[in-house]
Amino acid sequence: MLKTFPKGGVHPAENKLSKGKSITRLDPPKTVVIPLSQHLGAPAQAVVAKGDQILAGQLLAKAGGFVSANIHSSVSGVVAKVDKMPDSSGYRQMCVVIDVKGDDWVPQIDRSNDLKTGIPSNPDEIRAKIAEAGIVGMGGAGFPTHVKMSVPQGKTANNLIINAVECEPYLTSDHQLMMEKADEIIIGVMLMQKAIGAGKAYIGIENNKPDAIAHLSDIAKKYSSDIMVQGLKVKYPQGGEKQLIKAVLKREVPSGGLPIDVGCVVQNVGTAFAVYEAVLKNKPLFERVVSVTGKSVKNPVNLLARIGTPISELIDVAGGVPEDTAKVVNGGPMMGKAVADLSVPVTKTTSGILLITEKEALRPEMFNCIRCSRCAGVCPMSLEPYLLKNMVNVSRWEDLQPEHVLDCIECGSCSYTCPAGIPLLDYIRLGKANLNKILRSRKS
Amino acid sequence: MALNRLTVSMSPHDYGHDSVKKIMLWVVIAMLPAFIVSAVFFGLDAIRVNLIAIAACVFFEWLIQKIFFKGKSTVGDLSAVVTGMLLAFNVPSNLPWWIIIIGALVSIGIAKMSFGGLGNNPFNPALVGRVFLLISFPVQMTSWPKVQVMNFALTDAQTGATPLAIVKEGIKNGQSFGDIMSNMPVSYSDMFMGQMGGSLGEISALALLVGGLILLIRKIITWHIPVSMLASVAIFTGVLHLINPAAYADPAFHLLTGGMMLGAIFMATDMVTSPMTPKGQIIFGVGIGIITVLIRVWGAYPEGVSFAILIMNALVPLINNWTKPKRFGEIIKK
Amino acid sequence: MELIIYTVVTLCVLGAILAVILFLIAQKFKVFEDPRIDEVEAQLPGANCGGCGLPGCRGFAEACVKADSLGSLFCPAGGNAAMSKIAEVLGQVAVEKDPMIAVVRCAGSHEKRAKTNLYNGIASCASASMLYSGDTGCPNGCLGLGDCVSVCTFNAIYIDEKTGLPVVSDTKCTACGACVKACPKNIIELRLKGKKDRRIFVSCMNTEKGGVARKSCSVACIGCGACVKACAYEAIRLENNLAYIDFEKCKLCRKCVETCPTNAIHELNFPPRKVKSADEAPAGETVKE
């Protein structure tokens, strides 16, 4: 039986061009630029200096607080500099630049392809290894995984939900990972179950990936009866945490609350694989699967790339930048971030690189709102984007709060669907930022 | 070349393929069946009224835009064409050309552009135009030509009253509804097909329903407003008819006559002037239905759809405020 | 005839009754207000710009009447003239303040600062700066989308289409500070208006290293420190590769302007120099009207 979340959502064209392309390992580039803030929360603090000899998997920067994550080197070589470099948003942030020499890994890392199944009995040990390996949510937000895994006192997490929805059009990295590393993923899920003490685990997959649903179901049966693979109807934004919980368990995370408030922890399927590698193979998170795709890309691919590789190198493997490219997006078309420059590095949260053609790069022409109410109809959080936009236009920041503007998950369904071409989400983001500013100043 | 300067914008980077122009085009397409029926029953006059109304609406929108707004012309979005067609649908086919042009000026100039153009008008422009004409030129606006199938001669056709007016007049004179209906020249099936007197676009329930189906399939309208409006009319008049069959017409009569179908499918569902949430749309539809029946049964005019819609248009902001959607994860305070 | 008389009489009686009721209610709910508030408010410009930090001119007037001294209250829009009148009304002493003006500290015009990408979004600096550093190589420079223009209640600032930069009018700007708050890049600063409107300031906010800054913008401050050495009054300090001129200490000697290798230091409203030709003088930041 297929499930989905009840209200809102859109159906953008899927365009899964790199579907079925097996994951190719990309050799380390000549130099890597590893940003020290690839996650939500405080940036990590560098523990290496210029001139240090580095092995792949070696710690480069320590977590700079509880909500933060370790950063490891993805290559072996010499630290060229530790300095501020532009990140994908163009602002400067601390980065470690490494000149690559050879490909030597830290000896503790198990580089073989052997499957390991021994699950440690102590949840704390699993959590410590996850924290040590610097794993963050690999779906896009980059929330440190060990923080999510620490269930606060007085709360229980009975259900672990694995987000394998991949509702973003174009992207196929999770899909391909599930097809190739199903055993590892299921063991990763069991590790996470153990870490948070969740009795049940659900893997939510949209039914545009029937092969993945069948494959994972088969593998899951081999290991545990507590892992359910749940097929879901195709609808964007099903990969949103709250939408996924609603779809799978019919529970509604309260406004302003977290999944843990309804006894759930949601993790991305890529994170499950990273957890497996970290706990059983001692391998920190320093490479990830990235889809390189786009309508005019010669050879759409799924690559296993080292963190810090410039995205231009990945695009080269996919056949180079097509002539008619006008926009390059780090992530999927619905929630990804457009980059201004192709030298920005792959980070822990780069699930795809999308090259958009000239024809589709520019936004449609903007007309007056015709009050068709489609934005309100597609909003998965049942907000009224047209109303929020009107309030932002006249700077009524405080009035946005009772309209639940802070619940917006920024999925972009409203902007996508607007027939008048109004970038509603731009306005809502502006409103959220200004409201948050006011709320912060009130607190202090 | 393109690579030297990449485009940067906020997400999403993919857009749906609907546009205002497409929506308006589909509304025009949905109105075509009713247009064809009107041409069949009223001849070239129907086409004449339509063309004059559309041309005048487009021209006034272009002119006002040019003089007052100075920006890029909005004529291209086709909304003026829709307004023009709706206005034409709401007037008798023998209306003199200058009255049509006055109606178009009121529709576009006063009801639409003075509020800032498409999307900002609180009232349905075509209805404002129609009601203005009805009050200003009552004689011309209520002398309905008799239908003549496929008569394309531009002659002065005979005029006669609409079924609604006949019934209203008859009941006022003490006749029973049954007696009136037995003398009525048109049957219910004639009414359904459109063979009765009336404004040129409102006569054929069948053609309008086909148009409504097109709109529903294209997801331009939802079922909420038409269904709630027609249902409330049917229930209200049904109760009245059961209480006193002699003094009150039956629901089928009310649903098939006058501007009921046109109003329910094309006028009340106008996106700009209807509520945003499904709940609000149902309240809106029920309100229109009740007010229409009140006017038809007890009011001075035989027809009340246009007044009812305009009255409910005025309440739309209030309805929007009442019927906020239940937010995801909202805890309802008890 | 009878009808008319009846109508007139009823209406008159009705009017009289309602008038009495209204009068009684007005008496009952009368709120005492210090009449001086109105007097003070009359002296204010009435623009409700918020430059004083209080909610509107009425709020400022109330605060003036309540306050023991006018020391901490100042209406930037009305200036010293308005304050001295208010002081007269209240029988207090006004504190004179030197007039200030908003100064745009970015000179990266279209030709001086090449565009590196195309911004395709709503025309709001706040929105664009939330998204990324901007459509040029400089992360600190003006975005030119006009948030400062839309908040200005005095029409004292506009975007020059040729340069893409905001221009402040010397005569209209009241230094209310609305644009200073609106600018997400903190480019606009309130500085002393100066004698004869003469001002010297570093027209750059770029904190990157010299080479990087220079690469993205030809008139960027490269943090070389030449101006710091040239200044005889210790008015210039260098922080984060960026020079800043303290307007309290600056004596308007113009030595720094000459030494700056990138012309990042601007002088305004000075008479043209005798030796050097005037074509080097930067134009565009302010206009005399």
Q: How far is A441 from chain C (nearest CA, A)?
A: 14
Is the pLDDT score of C278 beyond 50?
no
Please determine, for residue A433, whether its predicted confidence score (pLDDT) is greater than 90.
yes
Q: Which of C232, C258, C256, C233 minimizes the C-alpha distance to C243?
A: C256
DSSP assigned state of C45: -
Taking CB atoms and an 8 Å limit, are A426 and C117 in contact across chains? no
**Does residue B12 have a cis peptide bond before it, meaning omega lies within 30 degrees of 0?**
yes
Query: Which tokens hold the place of B36?
Result: 């064809």
Question: Residue C95 has what pLDDT?
Answer: 80
Question: How far, in Å, CA of A91 to CA of A84, rounded?
Answer: 9
Query: In chain C, whose CA is at the least distance from the CA of A85?
Result: C208
Rg of chain C's alpha carbons, rounded to an integer?
27
| Cα-based distances in Å from C194 to C155, C158, C177, C201, C225 | 22, 22, 17, 11, 24
Token digits of residue C209: 């290293």
On whether the CB atoms of residues A392 and A427 are closer than 8 A, the answer is yes
Answer yes or no: do A433 and C130 touch at CB < 8 A: yes
pTM over 0.80, yes/no: yes
Sign of the Cα torsion A384, A388, A393, A396 reads: positive
CA pair distance C217, C113, nearest whole angstrom: 4
Which pLDDT score, from 0 to 100, does residue B152 have? 54
In the predicted structure, residue B4 carries a pLDDT above the cut 70 = no
Q: What is the pLDDT of residue C286?
A: 52
pLDDT tens-digit map of A381-413: 999 999 999 999 998 999 999 999 999 999 999
pLDDT per residue as tens digits for the range C174-231: 888 889 999 999 999 999 888 888 889 999 999 888 888 898 899 999 999 999 999 9
pLDDT value at residue B155: 53
Say what the pLDDT of residue A230 is: 93
Q: How far apart are CA B186 and CA A424, in angstroms?
A: 52
At A437 the three-state DSSP class reads: helix
Which segment, A294-308, B179-193, C58-72, is predicted with the most confidence on average?
Answer: A294-308
User: CA–CA separation, A388 vs A376, rounded Å?
Assistant: 10
Is residue A78 within a helix (H) or strand (E), and if so which, with residue range?
strand A77-86
Task: Note whether A370 contacts B2, CB cutoff 8 Å.
Answer: no
Q: Which tokens hold the place of B209?
A: 């329903």
What pLDDT does residue C288 have? 46
Most C CBs within 10 Å, among A92, A369, A395, A438, to test the C interface? A92
Chain C residues in contact with A427 by the CB 8 A cut-off are 122, 127
pLDDT of residue B280: 94
Residues of C with Cβ-Cβ distance to B9 under 8 angstroms: 119-121, 131
Q: Which helix (H) or strand (E) holds A316?
A: helix A311-317
pLDDT band, residue C289 (cuts 50/70/90) = very low
More confident residue, B215 or A152: B215
Query: Which residue among A252, A333, A426 places its CB closest to the CB of B14?
Result: A333
State residue C188's pLDDT score: 94
Single-letter amino acid, residue B310: L
Q: Find chain C residues with C-beta within 8 A of A88's C-beta.
A: 132
Do A364 and B3 count as a contact with CB atoms less than 8 A apart? no
Search chain A and give the residue with CA nearest C209. A84
CATH class of the domain defined by A123-281: alpha beta
Measured in angstroms, the CA of A79 and the nearest CA of chain B are apart by 30
CA–CA dist B266, B260 (Å, integer)? 10
Q: Which segment, A103-112, C10-19, C31-40, is predicted with the most confidence on average? A: C10-19
Handedness of CA B70, B75, B79, B84 (dihedral sign): positive
**Res. B45: pLDDT tops 70:** yes
Neighbouring chains of A at 3+ CB pairs under 8 Å are: B, C
Decide if pLDDT at B1 tops 60.
no
Q: Do B6 and C135 touch (CB under 8 A)?
A: no
Confidence of residue A346 (pLDDT cuts 50, 70, 90): very high
**Token pair belonging to C124:** 């709001």
- Cβ distance of A423 and C122 shorter than 8 Å: yes
Residue A443 corresponds to which amino acid?
A: K
Provide the ipTM.
Answer: 0.88
User: What are A192's two structure tokens?
Assistant: 């996470």
Q: Where are the alpha helices (DSSP H) in A159-268?
A: 173-180, 182-196, 210-223, 241-249
Lowest mean pLDDT among B212-226, B297-311, C19-33, C57-71: C57-71
Q: Give chain A's mean pLDDT.
A: 92
> Under a CB-based contact definition with an 8 Å cutoff, are residues A191 and A198 in contact?
no
Q: CA nearest C198: which of C149, C261, C233, C245?
A: C245
Q: Read off the pLDDT of residues A125-159 as tens digits, 9 standing for 90 and up.
A: 999 999 999 999 988 788 999 998 888 888 888 99
Q: Give the Cα separation of A287 and A306 in Å (integer).
A: 4
Tokens representing residue A306 in the block: 């080292």
- The confidence score (pLDDT) of residue C92 equals 83
For A363, A379, B90, the CA distances from B316, given in Å and listed in that order, are 31, 21, 22
Region of poorest pLDDT, from A99-103, B83-87, B176-180: B176-180
Phi, psi of A391 (to 5 degrees): -70, -40
In degrees rounded to 5, what are phi and psi of residue B147? -75, 140
Report how far residue C288's alpha carbon sits from residue C154's, in angstroms, rounded to the nearest whole number: 15
pLDDT band at B153 (very low <50, low <70, confident <90, very high): low
Q: What is the DSSP string of B63-108?
A: HHIIIII-SS--GGG-HHHHHHHHHHHTS-TT--HHHHHHHHHIII
pLDDT mean across residues, chain C: 87
Tell me the two tokens of residue A233: 């109807």
Cβ-based contacts under 8 A for chains B and C: 24
The SS3 assignment for A35 reads strand
Cα B192 to Cα A166: distance, rounded to the nearest angstrom: 51
Contact between residue A162 and residue A244 where contact means Cβ atoms under 8 Å apart: no
Please compute Rg for chain A using Cα positions: 21
Which of the four pLDDT bands, split at 50, 70 and 90, describes residue C277? very low
Picking from A377, A378, A369, A434, the residue whose alpha carbon sits closest to that of residue A405 is A434
Contacts of A380 (CB under 8 A, 6+ apart): A5, A7, A8, A9, A237, A240, A242, A243, A409, A411, A413, B328
